[in-house]
């Protein structure tokens, strides 16, 4: 009897862990996974920031491959992970979907049960038929978004990750923490009626000699509005990302300039961008902004 009960218990446990998971991603697609994702390909390396918030002890345990952009787009962040988890140097890397260099055959050899993609690559994947190819190979693709419309999609994306990883409670914890931090700022400004300064965001200032990449009414642009400023690019850039010309900037007469930055030395060896963290000096930052 004990043996039979034990076998029943094992059978029930297996059934529970193997139950299909159905999610609706941020593009509106309904996607079915055979179970909790255990072998993930990251369509962007920086998706590790989100995955690490769920698998805090072993953030790379589910990752079988990733796009080759992390060490280029945020070298300092990548190096911090590499120092602690040196095995990531051996992870298979992929090209991007937007430039058509994602290798489907290579992906198949890794036997992934999930490919995470950023929403901004959706148009390119549709045009190139990538999703259809992967679906024929039984590789589920889920789109998340923290860049195009983060105010609309960030919370949804965290929910989705909680579902596909089998950690819905952790997703709720992350969402609550995020909202608490937002509320700290917005609650203080709820009754503010004072002057709202005109703000220009110089996106990746100093990356090259052109002026000037910025944000429309999303991403950092929306953050400016939420925190009491006036984003000068709100009416000039129709989408999330775009470019302001010097004449537009002068005419808008910004009172505050916010410069975003990172270590992009693997993208541009001669750039004079503004870095982040303890390394960059004030002098270097000022020089980087003089264009």
pLDDT digits (tens, 9 = 90+) for 244-278: 999 999 999 999 999 998 888 888 777 777 776 55
Q: Which residues are within 8 A (CB) of 178 and not within 5 positions of it... i.e. 6 or more apart? A: 154, 155, 158
Fold of 198-289: Rossmann fold (3.40.50)
Tokens of 26: 């941020």
Q: Residues in the chain with pLDDT < 70?
A: 1-18, 276-291
The structural domains of the chain, with segments of one domain joined by +, span 20-178, 198-289
Return the CATH architecture of domain 20-178.
3-Layer(aba) Sandwich (3.40)
- What's the chain's average pLDDT? 89
Give the pLDDT score at 216: 97
Task: Count CB neighbours of 13 within 10 A.
Answer: 10
Tokens of 14: 């297996």
Task: Decide if 20-178 and 198-289 have a common fold.
Answer: yes
Residue range 212-228, pLDDT digits in tens:
999 999 999 999 999 99
Q: How far, in Å, are 128, 241, 246 from residue 149 at the CA level? A: 23, 11, 26
């Amino acid at each position: 009897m004990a043996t039979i009960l034990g076998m029943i218990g094992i059978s029930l446990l297996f059934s529970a862990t193997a139950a299909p998971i159905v999610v609706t991603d941020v593009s509106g697609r309904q996607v079915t996974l055979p179970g909790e994702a255990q072998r993930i390909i990251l369509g962007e390396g920086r998706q590790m920031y989100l995955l690490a918030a769920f698998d805090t002890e072993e953030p790379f345990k589910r990752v079988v491959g990733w796009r080759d952009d992390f060490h280029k787009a945020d070298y300092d962040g990548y190096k911090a992970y590499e120092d602690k988890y040196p095995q990531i140097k051996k992870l298979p890397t992929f090209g991007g979907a937007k430039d058509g260099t994602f290798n489907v055959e290579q992906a198949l050899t890794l036997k992934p049960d999930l490919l995470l993609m950023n929403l901004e690559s959706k148009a390119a994947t549709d045009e190139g038929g990538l999703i259809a190819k992967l679906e024929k190979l039984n590789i589920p693709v889920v789109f998340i978004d923290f860049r195009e419309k983060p105010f609309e999609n960030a919370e949804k994306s965290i929910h989705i990750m909680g579902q596909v990883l089998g950690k819905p409670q952790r997703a709720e914890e992350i969402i609550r923490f995020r909202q608490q931090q937002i509320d700290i700022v917005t609650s203080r400004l709820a009754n503010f009626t004072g002057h709202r300064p005109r703000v220009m965001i110089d996106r990746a200032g100093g990356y090259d000699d052109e002026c000037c990449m910025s944000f429309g009414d999303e991403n950092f642009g929306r953050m400016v509005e939420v925190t009491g400023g006036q984003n000068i690019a709100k009416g000039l850039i129709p989408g999330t990302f775009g470019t302001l010309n010097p004449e537009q900037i002068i005419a808008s007469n910004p009172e505050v300039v916010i410069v975003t930055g990172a270590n992009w030395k693997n993208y541009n060896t001669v750039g004079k961008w503004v870095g982040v963290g303890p390394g960059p000096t004030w002098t270097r930052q000022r020089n980087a902004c003089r264009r």
